[in-house]
Structure 1
Amino acid sequence: MAAGSGSRYGKLKQFDELGPRDEFLMEFSIYDAISNGFDHIVIITKAVNQEFLKTYLETRLPDLIKLDVLVQDIQDIPEGMEIETSREKPWGTAHAVWTAREVIKGDFVIINADDYYGKSAFDGASEFIGRNTSESTYALVGYKLRDTLSDHGTVSRGVCEATDGKLLSIEEHIKIKATDKGIFDEASEIYLDPETMVSMNFWICHASIFDYITAYFRHFLEDKSNHEKSEIYLPFVAQEMMSKGVIDIEVIDSKSDWFGVTYYDDKVNAVKTLKQLTDKGQYPSPLWLTS
């Protein structure tokens, strides 16, 4: 997903050149995915970026990789629904996923373009897809809360409750930061366990999710008060699907280090870490033979 506006970062962070050879952060995730056997890359972006991204990636990705660059369009709503809105902001992460409903027909992974998830996250996703035979069993790659904070401001995280490797619930905490006394959520005014598992939007789903998002989105739009600013978030859809017994979600504990670029000052660490990983031989330089 690469349709965000980067309001806290100050620019389109999805296209900031963070790699040793000026690669975008998402390119390292794409590389890790391809290394684990994924052969179809779908990018969700804004209309203004579609042609640029398509051309940019087509000249870099291996010829055997299928590429779709799709636009998250505010006017893309369920058939029969009508809206009257002046909003410019996209409908949210669940809608971004729904944008890919015509090109994805089986199991797939969902990630953010501005997060680095690490090789083991894709190892775990590939292993899960290889052994899972149920269209109603999804998975989530989780990270320890203490490993997902920013030194430069508060962050929003989906705090997971799980038992025996099965996700029970996700609760959004929207203003989390590290303090001298511990990890504190300013919004709910509570301290959180640093070892708590959180979602960084690395999901493994089946195409069966698209029909459910359609129904969820339709119900959302029936309330006209949602038309101007409200969004449909993927964790909320997943939570409802679990609550209704539609799906089970397995939690995969990532062994990789996560990092992201929520704020512009996070860029320094991202650039440094990508160089270190490349210097260690985890990634080639240049990343693609054609770049």
Structure 2
Amino acid sequence: MQPTLVILAAGMASRYGSMKQTEAFGPSGETIMEYSIYDAIRSGFGKVVFIIREEFAEAFKAQFEPRLKGKIAIDYVYQHLEDFVGNRPIPADRVKPWGTAHALLCCKGKVNEPFSIINADDFYGREAFEKAVAFLQNQCNETTYAIMGYELSKTLSGHGSVSRGVCSVNSEGNLVNITERTKIYRNADTGKIVYEDESGVVELPEHTPVSMNFFGFHPNIIALAEKLFNEFLDKNIQNIKSEFFIPLVVDEFVKQKIGIVKVLPTSAQWFGVTYKEDAPEVKKSFQQLINNGVYPASLW
């Protein structure tokens, strides 16, 4: 069975300021995620599932279905604030989606085979998709997941802080824990990479493995996400800025000794659009890859 690629495309893009998921970055109008889909098709994925907000569905389908028709099977999942909340009252001023793990949970009933999940606005490189397919077809099961491990220094933006899942890895290459750090940047004075949280500023080594939200999962993770989301809501529903992240679910999978998460290392250079100022650099990066023969000038 060919694995499925799930793409997180329902975010608010609050730091970027617009719908970067549908913005053109390639010379023929391609979005970032189209390069991911192109790499996924070449690597052996058989289906793509877009997680989007329903109010944008018509425009989204009009943009992408003509390009992808006949190339890969397509499906959609809509992420609503009220999904899986039960009878709990949602704060009236809650606008932000519940987060990436809630988006994953919204795939319940839609994704029933081994799958990878990625962000719409990150470029991952073909190697990552090839490694993901090999894992999903040969090693993935109810107690074995995977995460692509990027080098922290290759995942920063020059225009502000980024959010990354910081990974601790044991000698066998398996994940010990993953902690979502929402404010990582290179200190302009010291040149060191640091993150900030409520305890202060903490330095991180250059080659620290981090998650870029590229995982390989057995579909049983959806049931675990549902259980943990209920616990999350009991504690955080009144905090309008709280988010339920995929790394929280993965971390619990390891902590509860349900199974192991293999860290599949990649030395690929990440690029993406966290901020508007990132956009020109992303366009230049795609043009360079095209010049080097990695991608055609027009993907489709």
Q: TM bucket by the smaller chain? A: over 0.9
Deviation at 1:64, TM superposition (A): 5.1
What's the counterpart of residue 142 of structure 1? 149
Deviation at 1:133, TM superposition (A): 5.0
Q: Tell me the number of residue pairs that the alignment of Structure 1 and Structure 2 aligns.
A: 287
Mark the CA change 1:61 to 1:149 in structure 2 (over 3 Å): closer, same or farther. same
State the alpha-carbon separation in 1 of the partners of residues 231 and 195 from structure 2.
Answer: 31
Contact 2:82 2:90 in 1 (8 A): no
Contact 2:159 2:277 in 1 (8 A): yes
State the alpha-carbon separation in 2 of the partners of residues 81 and 34 from structure 1.
Answer: 41
State the alpha-carbon separation in 2 of the partners of residues 248 and 6 from structure 1.
Answer: 32
Q: How does 1:207-226 map to 2 (within 5 A)?
A: 207-223=219-235, 225-226=237-238
TM-score by length of 2: 0.91
State the alpha-carbon separation in 1 of the partners of residues 202 and 56 from structure 2.
Answer: 40
Contact 1:53 1:69 in 2 (8 A): no
What's the counterpart of residue 277 of structure 2? 265
Choose which of 173, 178, 184 in structure 1 pairs with 2:181. 173
What's the counterpart of residue 5 of structure 2? none
Q: How does 1:88-237 map to 2 (within 5 A)?
A: 88-163=95-170, 164-179=172-187, 180-181=189-190, 182-187=192-197, 188-223=200-235, 225-226=237-238, 228-237=240-249
Deviation digits for residues 71-117 of structure 1 (CA, Å, limit 9, x no counterpart): 11111116x54334322211110011111122111100010001000
TM-score by length of 1: 0.93
Contact 2:17 2:276 in 1 (8 A): yes
Deviation at 1:155, TM superposition (A): 1.4
State the alpha-carbon separation in 1 of the partners of residues 235 and 164 from structure 2.
Answer: 27
Is 1:85 matched with 2:97?
Answer: no
Mark the CA change 1:256 to 1:223 in structure 2 (over 3 Å): closer, same or farther. closer
Is 1:15 matched with 2:22?
Answer: yes
Q: How does 1:38-77 map to 2 (within 5 A)?
A: 38-63=45-70, 65-77=72-84
Mark the CA change 1:175 to 1:222 in structure 2 (over 3 Å): closer, same or farther. closer
C-alpha RMSD of matched pairs (Å): 1.6
Of all paired residues, the percent bearing the same amino acid is 41
Aligned residue type for 1:156:
S
The unaligned stretches of length 5 or more in structure 1 are none
Contact 2:12 2:97 in 1 (8 A): no
State the alpha-carbon separation in 1 of the partners of residues 206 and 283 from structure 2.
Answer: 25
| Stretch deviating more after TM superposition (203-212 or 166-175) | 166-175
Deviation at 1:160, TM superposition (A): 0.6
State the alpha-carbon separation in 2 of the partners of residues 143 and 34 from structure 1.
Answer: 22
